[in-house]
Structure 1
Amino acid sequence: MKQLLFVLAFVATGLFASSQGAVKKYRVGIFASLYLDSTFTGSTYKFTNQMPKHILPGLDFVQGALMAVDSVNSNQPLEVMVYDLRSADQSLDKLRSRNTFDSLDLMIGSVSGAEYRTLADLALLKNIPFVSATFPNDGGVTNNPFTIIVNSTLPAHCEAIYNFIMRSNPTANLVYVRRKGTQEDRLASYFAKYNKGSNGSTLLKWKTLNLNDNFTQTDLIPHLDSLKTNVLICGSLDEAFGLNLVNVAQKIYKTYPMELVGMPTWDGMKDLTKPEYKDLSLFYTATFFNTGTVAATNFTKGFTDLTNGRPSDVAYRGYELTRFFIQLLLRYNTQLMQHLNERTYRSFTEFDFRPVLNSTSGKPDYFENKRIYILKRSNNLVSRMN
């Protein structure tokens, strides 16, 4: 991985390109936080024994992206620039002052917060498709048909969870377990919205329990049914609260048959792999699921050969999104946004990009990936349910 850093120290200020004659050259900007300024003194790497964890997500994303560029088999001129947003010379303000965005045809970013919003605003201003690869939030973007959100927002996850319960277990004893909090209020409002029929009626019936962080089985048991399946929905993103729900369920599941449905935060909870939870049925959502396809296996090997490390989910995302959108650009040019659901160039993940329409203008606020996987963890295995 240290060798990759030396390569990126050059790439982030140079270009990764192929060019031919005077025909159109397609230009792509890849934006991530690489922290090269704080990692090197001149050309000397600062960290001899250990690589700081905070630089790994950006490195993984860019390594995947560069592998994707290398895999694109096209005779069309292509220039790909990697921008380190933590570099003093490559902040978005500096790039904008140099008119960098005037020449770009596509932007792909592993960014969040203010940097996400700035790139989205520039995408609208310059009519450049902007692929937000990792930020699960719309950031307040409206009326922006050039912003593409890949890592689906929380409302989309809640809608997927609701639809899954409606399809799989609508007559179960449904118990919505939450804690007090503004975020929890927002989650509850999403589920309430999806649970309204066209005539205003309530479609699914569930009990809502508003519990403290240290609740026990005594708080749950009065609301459970020993003669039918109990579906416990965790209405909080707080990992400690969710893990406590799993702990309590583990103590009583033999008496009260149950399934637990968690938020997307459960996808990264390592505690769920503990052996004491293996007999529970745990469901949660994710926008990425490595199915072990030939393409995924080949990428894993290639990444490991280059970096001596295993790729994270962010590396897979960097690869598949860069490869997918660059090939869309090369094929469709300015019509790229009309072909977001082209299946030809997909690598690992299924996408379903749909416009999220503005309630006032009726125009797209942005395009969002609505393909959300329902995953089940049981017996230490994770399987896809849809």
Structure 2
Amino acid sequence: MKRSIIYFVVFTYLLAFGGIKIANAKGDINSLVPDKSLPIVKKSLNIAMFLPLSYDRISELDFTKFNIEDKKRLKYRCFEYITFYEGARIALDKLEKEGYSVSLYVYDVGEEDVAEMNKVLQNPEMKTMDLLIPLVFHNCFNAAADFALKNSIPIINPMSPNPTIVENNPFVFKIQPSTVADVETTVRYIKNKFTSPNIILLFTPKEKLVMEMYQRAIERENWTWSGIDFNKYQNRIFEKIDTKKENIYISIVDKGNQQLNEAYANTLLMKLNNNKGLPPINLIAQYDWLDYPSLDLKLIQKFNFHFTLSYLNDYTNQNFVEFVKEYRKHFRQEPDKIYAALGYDIMMYFVPAMQHKGNSFITEPNEDRTKVMINSFYFDRKDPKDGWQNRRTVVYKISDYKIISVGR
């Protein structure tokens, strides 16, 4: 049932691509003719994409009350992840024009439907795949990763922050940067933008490991710094201010839920605002703060709020602006917050890199694709027996009430 429905839904969503062919889980969606002048080691790729599309429930949709943003999680779940495919499709359309050859197989697999994942993995064509992209939850991904390991097929995890997914599987590529990458990017930004930083690190015992990461990174730079346990010493957070240096508060406090984190964010901002004798302050904290309705945006602006994030609809990024133009052209709407751009970048990186490098890709995956990607990747691993971790993330800043990218 699911596979027969795929024809209908993909056709509905991708009419804008005109003559581009789309196929169900049994066949390829596109055969592209490579430019023989390109230095392509592997002339064509077979890619399997596993998405929780819920196409078997499409008959339940009531299009007379269509409101995806309000209801998609409850009623229109088949639209939740389709933007990942749409972003990937835009990339493949571009790559086709450059001469790359890809056959993309799309499978409808539930986020946690391990039985369905295992069933799909038994299909004869699966062993012919060059790349697997499961946008699913932990257990489902593990099933696909085990298959990838047994059959020596690279596999991408687009969304998980869990660093353990790369362990003991050299074929895994983890896209979401780890905490280590966030720390490295933040420290690199400070090094590039500030001449004499004085860093005040706010934490609680729960964040001890992250605090120690920052400690090692900061001490390597020989910067002035102090760590303050906010639970114990929240009334002493100004004691280490140095009026002769550039003062940077880095908050890694996580109270465990949104309500408590929102209360903490308000408390910190009010403390900073009530101290009228402070020199200029730069505050680095979590992106989630911008979603807290009670926060005063004037204070966010006043204290030069920064955060790190791997993906954001950043209209100061020209590559993202060009992507949005294509997305609007084909789908007549704005892309979502992350899935569309992520699907685009994964294809724009992996298709050329794998075709250029061939069998050497799995041991030497890095290739500079900065000029054509929204956010580029750089992969690293600690041990040859483990998979690859993307270490690229972006520092954003609130400036004139706008979010701008300021460092990578």
Question: Which residue in the other structure is 2:178 paired with?
Answer: 153
Q: Decide whether the 8 Å contact of 1:375 with 1:385 is kept in 2.
A: yes
Deviations 1:77-127 (CA, angstroms, capped at 9, x unpaired) = 532012222186983222223355312111223334223333333332221
Question: Which residue in the other structure is 2:104 paired with?
Answer: 80
Q: In the alignment, does 2:383 pair up with 1:383?
A: no
Q: Decide whether the 8 Å contact of 2:315 with 2:321 is kept in 1.
A: no
Aligned residue pair count: 368
In structure 1, C-alpha distance between the alignment counterparts of 2:275 and 2:136, rounded to whole Å? 42
Q: In the alignment, does 2:58 pair up with 1:40?
A: yes
Deviations 1:310-340 (CA, angstroms, capped at 9, x unpaired) = 1123211111212321233334333333553
Q: CA RMSD in A?
A: 3.7
In structure 2, C-alpha distance between the alignment counterparts of 1:180 and 1:168, rounded to whole Å? 29
Q: In the alignment, does 2:349 pair up with 1:324?
A: yes
Q: In the alignment, does 2:308 pair up with 1:285?
A: yes
Change (3 A) 1:316 1:253: farther
Query: What's the TM-score, normalizing by structure 2?
Result: 0.75
Q: Decide whether the 8 Å contact of 1:237 with 1:265 is kept in 2.
A: no
Change (3 A) 1:173 1:295: closer
Question: Which residue in the other structure is 1:62 paired with?
Answer: 85
Question: Which residue in the other structure is 1:13 paired with?
Answer: 25
Query: What's the TM-score, normalizing by structure 1?
Result: 0.79
Q: In the alignment, does 2:254 pair up with 1:233?
A: no
- SS of the residue corresponding to residue 161 of structure 1 reads helix
Which amino acid in 2 is paired with 1:156? A
Identity %: 18
Q: In the alignment, does 2:394 pair up with 1:373?
A: yes
**2:335 pairs with 291, 311, 336, which one?**
311
In structure 1, C-alpha distance between the alignment counterparts of 2:240 and 2:225, rounded to whole Å? 10
Shift of 1:69: 2.3
Deviations 1:255-274 (CA, angstroms, capped at 9, x unpaired) = 34211112465576677782
- SS of the residue corresponding to residue 88 of structure 2 reads helix
Which amino acid in 2 is paired with 1:35? S
**2:324 pairs with 291, 294, 300, which one?**
300
Shift of 1:303: 1.8
- SS of the residue corresponding to residue 335 of structure 2 reads coil
Change (3 A) 1:276 1:282: closer
Q: Decide whether the 8 Å contact of 1:320 with 1:346 is kept in 2.
A: no
Deviations 1:295-317 (CA, angstroms, capped at 9, x unpaired) = 43342133224433211232111
Q: Decide whether the 8 Å contact of 1:130 with 1:146 is kept in 2.
A: yes
Q: In the alignment, does 2:56 pair up with 1:27?
A: no
Question: Which residue in the other structure is 1:334 paired with?
Answer: 359
Which amino acid in 2 is paired with 1:372? T
Change (3 A) 1:145 1:45: same
- SS of the residue corresponding to residue 50 of structure 2 reads strand
Q: Decide whether the 8 Å contact of 2:149 with 2:171 is kept in 1.
A: yes
In structure 2, C-alpha distance between the alignment counterparts of 1:317 and 1:253, rounded to whole Å? 43
**1:255 pairs with 258, 275, 278, which one?**
278
In structure 2, C-alpha distance between the alignment counterparts of 1:114 and 1:100, rounded to whole Å? 22
Q: Decide whether the 8 Å contact of 1:279 with 1:379 is kept in 2.
A: no
In structure 1, C-alpha distance between the alignment counterparts of 2:31 and 2:406, rounded to whole Å? 45
In structure 1, C-alpha distance between the alignment counterparts of 2:373 and 2:284, rounded to whole Å? 25
Q: What are the residue-to-residue correspondences of 1:195-234 with 2, within 5 Å? A: 195=218, 203-212=222-231, 218-226=235-243, 228-234=245-251
- SS of the residue corresponding to residue 232 of structure 1 reads strand
Deviant stretches of 4+, over 6 Å: 87-90, 267-273
Change (3 A) 1:258 1:19: closer
Change (3 A) 1:225 1:347: same
Q: Decide whether the 8 Å contact of 1:351 with 1:369 is kept in 2.
A: no
Q: What are the residue-to-residue correspondences of 1:95-106 with 2, within 5 Å? A: 95-99=120-124, 101-106=126-131
Question: Which residue in the other structure is 1:49 paired with?
Answer: 66
- Runs of 5+ unmatched residues, structure 1: none
**2:198 pairs with 173, 177, 196, which one?**
173
Q: Decide whether the 8 Å contact of 1:137 with 1:154 is kept in 2.
A: no
Shift of 1:157: 0.7
- SS of the residue corresponding to residue 17 of structure 1 reads coil
Deviations 1:244-296 (CA, angstroms, capped at 9, x unpaired) = 43343344366342111124655766777824432221222222363555543
- SS of the residue corresponding to residue 333 of structure 2 reads coil
Q: Decide whether the 8 Å contact of 1:16 with 1:80 is kept in 2.
A: yes
- SS of the residue corresponding to residue 387 of structure 2 reads strand
